[in-house]
Amino acid sequence: SNSYAIASIKQTATPYESYVGGFVGINNGTINTCYSTVNITDESGVVNAIGGFAGYTELISGYNATINKCFSTGSITLASTPSNRGYFLGQTTGAELHCYYLNSAKISVGTQAIDPSNSIGTSKMISELYSEDFLKNTLYLSNDIWVVTAGQPPVLKCFEK
């Protein structure tokens, strides 16, 4: 909870199918109030599920998998077309999700744009995702933990300059 990822991911080779996300590859727990601005490039061609925030979220007996009050802004570039791909989440087995993604995010194979295989998440403009109203009243980011400045991604207070 209360985390973020700001980076680029480039997967060049893997001997197995993989699950790739801008924040987490596979989730079977609870993730709250987090975001990812990660752009993902896969050159391996063996991705099973890929999403801007999470590759795969699964329900396992005894665990309640959730992703709550989270968003992603990154785009995805692929070597081939995986069957499970999404702007926010690649695949889920019924997890509880309350999530958002950037409306201009793209998924492409090379330079050719492709559609996501799912519609998980709510599309938002960057001005909405970085608005004080959305961050404080929809995601409920706490002033005790986060620094919220209109038009900017939120920052954890421990990293405030």
Reading the chain (161 residues) residue by residue, the pLDDT tens digits are 999 999 999 988 777 778 999 999 999 889 999 999 999 999 998 899 999 999 999 877 667 789 999 999 999 999 999 999 999 999 998 888 899 999 999 999 999 999 999 999 999 999 999 999 999 999 999 999 999 998 999 999 998 76
Tell me the C-alpha distance between 90 and 138, whole Å.
23
Of 51, 72, 60, 68, the closest CA to residue 4 belongs to 72
pLDDT of residue 39: 97
pLDDT of residue 160: 78
Contact between 31 and 55 under an 8 Å Cβ cutoff? The reply is no
pLDDT of residue 17: 76
**Edge-to-edge strands, sheet with 112-113:** 8-11, 39-42, 76-78, 107-109, 112-113
pLDDT of residue 112: 96
The residues, ordered by sequence, that sit 6+ positions from 111 with a Cβ below 8 Å of its Cβ are: none
Neighbours of 133 (CB within 10 A): 10
Tell me the C-alpha distance between 130 and 58, whole Å.
29
The residues, ordered by sequence, that sit 6+ positions from 15 with a Cβ below 8 Å of its Cβ are: none
Kindly give the residue spans of alpha helices, DSSP state H, lying in 16-151: 126-129, 132-133
